[in-house]
Chains A and B, each alone.
Chain A
Amino acid sequence: MERSQMYRQLANMRKALFDQGFLDEQFVQLEELQDDANPNFVEEIVTLFYRDSTRLIHNIEQALEKNPLDFTKLDSYMHQFKGSTTSIGAKKVTNECTQFREYCKAGNGEGCKRTFEQLKKEYALLKKKLEAYFQLARQIGPVESACRPK
């Protein structure tokens, strides 16, 4: 059946996201919060995250263009950003955040900038993958489409 195929496909997508390190256990926490009252909770959260974090990304970018770099401020921004990424379980993005903060503490401007570029890539990649995932999930319908991970 087409539906079951879609289910399978969705499950595979999901598994890949976890296996490839894009998502971690925290994402499961979000999934568990989803219920009949909030059937699209995870998608809502992710959408909110991307909307809100745009602002932070922008702030960091601006701060990185300054000379000299204000590491304290950068660290503070990144700290905020990291709070969000960890909350949705964006594993790879979070790792980049951690790395970035290390460079900030070390006062390594170049390191910060490099890491930030990497971070943005991961951030955009995850967004694409999750968008595809949610789109498929919506197609399948409000039924429990994803099976528990791992």
Chain B
Amino acid sequence: MNFGVQGAKSMSMPSSSASWKSGDGVSDHFPVGLRVLLVDDDPTCLMILEKMLRNCLYEVTKCNRAEIALSLLRENKNGFDIVISDVHMPDMDGFKLLEHVGLEMDLPVIMMSADDSKSVVMNGVTHGACDYLIKPVRIEALRNIWQHVVRKRKHEWKDLEQSGSIEDGDRQQKPSEDADFSSSANEGSWRNSKRRKDEEDQAEERDDSSTLKKPRVVWSVELHQQFVVAVNQLGIDKAVPKKILELMNVPGLTRENVASHLQKYRLYLRRLSGVSQHPGGLNNSFVGPPETPFGSISSLNGLDLQALAATGQLPAQSLATLEAAALGRSTTKSGISMPFMDQRNLFSFENPKLRFRDDQQPQLGNNNKQMNLLHGIPTNMEPKQLANLHQSAQSSFRGMNMQPNSNHHGNQSSSLLVQMSQPPSRPQMFNDTNSNHFSMIPSSIAQPTLPSGMGSGVLARNGIVENARGAIYNSASQASTMVDFSINQNTDLPGNGFLLANNAGGQMATVASKGLLQEEVTSEMKGSRGLAPSYDIFSELHQHKSQDWGLPNVGLTFDASQHSNMRGGLDVPPSVLVQQNNVQNRITPFGKAIFSAAEESGRGNGPNIGQQLDTLLAGNSLRVKAESLPEASCQNTLFHEQYNQEDLMSALLKQQEGVGPVTNEFGFDGYALDNLPV
């Protein structure tokens, strides 16, 4: 396939499309790149506001007529994160526009007016405006408009959660995050979930820190292992951040860091358990490579990790790294980011997983246990993801699931190929890294389940080739929190789309993936095994790479690819991606994003990855498949150095080719969590 070409393209594409791309290498990019649609008939005000918004580092589109605004919004479903509109306009009343936007696009709308009379303001409130600004508008008032995007996503997530099949078992303190992870959010537009996820993640990250620019804690492999050890010591149910922090005894680590990481971890575990509950048909087809689980764990290099793990090439460390990365990255989105991978793993290993699970612990009930096994890679709701994957195939993608699987995607395929030969190797690896986790896992079976849980995408990635679908989804999630977002959404989308895009377009994927996923999933199941994993592999690789190489944008790319791209429109994103990805919103084709991200990461161009992802995402919202191809190519580049996956990848990719075309439906720019048209 033209992976190489695509990959190159995607890579080279500027991240302009990414909504959440960050200008500089700052870790916290959100809300940079927030896509604002500005509507005001007054040219003076329009120009001033545009300049102000640009100074806030937002992406601004201005128009002076409400009709134009509406058509822009309709044409580019996930092209914007927020709308700011004047109340008094000649062609259409601002409130009417507000109504339309609320009904059709469900974007947050801020009203403005020089009129500060109570009645007008009240009118705004009743029409559903999320804020009302009095003219003259000061730049300070515009700096915080991102909160509305986050808030809305958060609420959407909650809604999805409630209506979705997410287990409320251990809803974390941040339900929104959970929601994303549980992928039950698939119902909603992936974009929303993705964006929300990204934003939530970002917001959550923010919540943890008092300032916006708090430095991110990178959850390295060692750190994560320490964390897992501490959690297991305390018992997953009794593990509270404070105690974990004490046990870990890591200077500089705050309780907040631990708390958010724990949340992700829990999500991951939940996913794992969730997967077991959904033995879906997918698994059957993918049953097989137990190795995949490894892959997922190391969302970082999704494919590689798993594959490597399987082949024993991948050092346990790397897996752990991946996991850590996955988890770390996904701090914001931990749950989501992995979905891609997880899903894959979930699916592919579904059977084994389920078995595993049963053996080890009751499916949902023992999520914790399983989690522990896996090593607590909470991020990717692997179990869920896997389940989702299955579900997705069945049209019940949970938001997250899709994503994580995507990651797996790459892994899966690769892992599938690789692992098939060495199923037992994986578990070993994990064990090494996650002492507690892997030991439990029965050679192959264990793996898959774990990865899914891993969410971080990385994990998921590797293992499940079979769950290519899942992988795709998950991989996206890995990258960034944003991804997670998208993942959720994506999960709904056909596996195909997600698998690839998962990493990147987690977000995008969800939306688009819904439709595609299902198709893709099935197709993947059928024969794209090889393909699916490729995505994951890539994404994982990507992730891994970033981690290993300490790419500055690691988080970004990771997320970016996953989230940003996915987000694309959204947003979303992103966002907040674990590290930096704006992913948010653009949910460009996940696959691509992942690829690009992977490629980038491989090359050490962290930042680019995010962008690429965006590109990818934008391009192929759901066409994960198509994208996966490029990813495969990317992977080759990335991994060959490390893993010799090239052959595997290409093989996988080829398989994938059949998957769906990659279309850039997502235009999400990272932040914006692109709205992938489903």
A residues in contact (CB < 8 Å) with B: 26, 29-30, 32-33, 35, 38, 41, 44-45, 48-49, 52-53, 76, 79-80, 82-84, 86-89
**CB pair B114 A52 closer than 8 Å:** no
**CB pair A79 B139 closer than 8 Å:** no
Residues of A within 8 A of B44 (CB): 45, 48-49, 52-53, 84, 87-88
**With A45-B48, A80-B88, A83-B114 in contact, is A33–B55 under 8 Å at CB?**
yes
Residues of B within 8 A of A83 (CB): 42, 45, 86, 88, 113-114, 135
Cβ-neighbour of B138 out of A29, A80, A84 (below 8 A): A29
Closest chain-A Cβ to B42's Cβ sits at a distance in Å of 5
B242 at the interface (CB under 8 A from A): no
**CB pair A48 B43 closer than 8 Å:** yes
If A33-B139, A83-B45, A83-B113 are given as contacts, then 10 extra A-B residue pairs at C-beta distance below 8 Å, sorted by A number, are: A26-B136, A29-B138, A29-B139, A38-B51, A45-B44, A52-B43, A83-B88, A84-B42, A87-B137, A88-B48
**CB pair A48 B136 closer than 8 Å:** no
Residues of B within 8 A of A32 (CB): 139
> Closest 3 CB pairs between A and B?
A83-B114, A86-B136, A26-B136
**CB pair A76 B88 closer than 8 Å:** yes
Residues of A within 8 A of B113 (CB): 83
Residues of A within 8 A of B48 (CB): 30, 33, 45, 87-88
What separation, in Å, do the CA atoms of A1 and B139 have in the docked complex?
Answer: 37
Residues of B within 8 A of A30 (CB): 48
Residues of B within 8 A of A29 (CB): 52, 136, 138-139
**CB pair B88 A48 closer than 8 Å:** no
Residues of A within 8 A of B43 (CB): 48, 52
Residues of B within 8 A of A45 (CB): 44, 47-48
**CB pair B135 A41 closer than 8 Å:** no
Question: C-beta contact mask, B46-63 vs A, less than 8 Å → 1, else 0?
Answer: 011001100100000000
**With A44-B47, A86-B136 in contact, is A79–B115 under 8 Å at CB?**
yes
What separation, in Å, do the CA atoms of A38 and B48 have in the docked complex?
Answer: 12
A-B contact count (CB 8 A): 59
What separation, in Å, do the CA atoms of A26 and B47 have in the docked complex?
Answer: 14
**Chain A residue at smallest Cβ distance from B112:** A83
Interface of B (DSSP majority class)? mixed
Closest chain-A Cβ to B95's Cβ sits at a distance in Å of 15
What separation, in Å, do the CA atoms of A32 and B88 have in the docked complex?
Answer: 27
Closest chain-B Cβ to A65's Cβ sits at a distance in Å of 21
Residues of B within 8 A of A41 (CB): 51
**With A76-B88, A83-B114 in contact, is A48–B135 under 8 Å at CB?**
no
Cβ-neighbour of B52 out of A33, A53, A76 (below 8 A): A33
Cβ-neighbour of A79 out of B47, B114, B136 (below 8 A): B114
What separation, in Å, do the CA atoms of A43 and B48 have in the docked complex?
Answer: 12
**CB pair A86 B135 closer than 8 Å:** yes
Chain B interface size, as a band, is 20 to 34
Residues of A within 8 A of B47 (CB): 44-45, 48
**CB pair A87 B42 closer than 8 Å:** yes
What separation, in Å, do the CA atoms of A29 and B41 have in the docked complex?
Answer: 21
Interface of A (DSSP majority class)? helix
**With A33-B52, A52-B43, A80-B42 in contact, is A87–B139 under 8 Å at CB?**
no
**Chain A residue at smallest Cβ distance from B52:** A33
Closest chain-A Cβ to B55's Cβ sits at a distance in Å of 6
What separation, in Å, do the CA atoms of A122 and B561 have in the docked complex?
Answer: 55
**CB pair A87 B45 closer than 8 Å:** yes
What separation, in Å, do the CA atoms of A80 and B88 have in the docked complex?
Answer: 8
What separation, in Å, do the CA atoms of A30 and B113 have in the docked complex?
Answer: 18
What separation, in Å, do the CA atoms of A99 and B44 have in the docked complex?
Answer: 22
Residues of A within 8 A of B114 (CB): 79, 82-83, 86
Which residues B67-101 have CB closer than 8 A to chain A?
Answer: 86, 88
Closest chain-B Cβ to A59's Cβ sits at a distance in Å of 11
What separation, in Å, do the CA atoms of A52 and B48 have in the docked complex?
Answer: 14
What separation, in Å, do the CA atoms of A79 and B89 have in the docked complex?
Answer: 11
Residues of A within 8 A of B45 (CB): 83-84, 87
**CB pair A89 B136 closer than 8 Å:** yes
Residue among B43, B51, B55, B86 with max Cβ neighbours from chain A (10 Å): B51
**Chain B residue at smallest Cβ distance from A24:** B136
What separation, in Å, do the CA atoms of A87 and B113 have in the docked complex?
Answer: 11
Residue among B48, B136, B139 with max Cβ neighbours from chain A (10 Å): B136
**Chain B residue at smallest Cβ distance from A97:** B114
What separation, in Å, do the CA atoms of A70 and B35 have in the docked complex?
Answer: 40
**Chain B residue at smallest Cβ distance from A51:** B43
Residues of B within 8 A of A48 (CB): 43-44, 47
Residues of B within 8 A of A35 (CB): 55
**With A26-B136, A80-B88, A83-B114 in contact, is A33–B51 under 8 Å at CB?**
yes
Residues of A within 8 A of B139 (CB): 29, 32-33
Closest chain-B Cβ to A119's Cβ sits at a distance in Å of 15
What separation, in Å, do the CA atoms of A65 and B667 have in the docked complex?
Answer: 51
Residues of B within 8 A of A80 (CB): 41-42, 88
Residues of A within 8 A of B136 (CB): 26, 29, 86-87, 89
What separation, in Å, do the CA atoms of A29 and B88 have in the docked complex?
Answer: 23
Closest chain-A Cβ to B391's Cβ sits at a distance in Å of 49
Residues of A within 8 A of B88 (CB): 76, 79-80, 83
**Chain B residue at smallest Cβ distance from A46:** B44
What separation, in Å, do the CA atoms of A55 and B51 have in the docked complex?
Answer: 24
Closest chain-B Cβ to A130's Cβ sits at a distance in Å of 13
Closest chain-A Cβ to B588's Cβ sits at a distance in Å of 28
Closest chain-A Cβ to B111's Cβ sits at a distance in Å of 13
**CB pair A52 B42 closer than 8 Å:** yes
Closest chain-B Cβ to A117's Cβ sits at a distance in Å of 22
Question: C-beta contact mask, B489-510 vs A, less than 8 Å → 1, else 0?
Answer: 0000000000000000000000
Which residues B464-521 have CB closer than 8 A to chain A?
Answer: none
**CB pair A87 B52 closer than 8 Å:** no
Closest chain-B Cβ to A42's Cβ sits at a distance in Å of 10
Residues of A within 8 A of B86 (CB): 83
What separation, in Å, do the CA atoms of A80 and B112 have in the docked complex?
Answer: 12
Closest chain-B Cβ to A125's Cβ sits at a distance in Å of 19
**Chain A residue at smallest Cβ distance from B90:** A80
Closest chain-A Cβ to B39's Cβ sits at a distance in Å of 13
Which residues B273-315 have CB closer than 8 A to chain A?
Answer: none
Question: Can you show 29 pairs from A to B with CB atoms below 8 A apart?
Answer: A26-B138, A29-B52, A30-B48, A32-B139, A33-B48, A33-B51, A33-B52, A38-B51, A41-B51, A45-B47, A48-B44, A49-B44, A52-B43, A79-B114, A80-B41, A80-B88, A83-B45, A83-B88, A83-B114, A84-B42, A84-B44, A86-B135, A86-B136, A87-B42, A87-B44, A87-B45, A87-B48, A87-B137, A89-B136
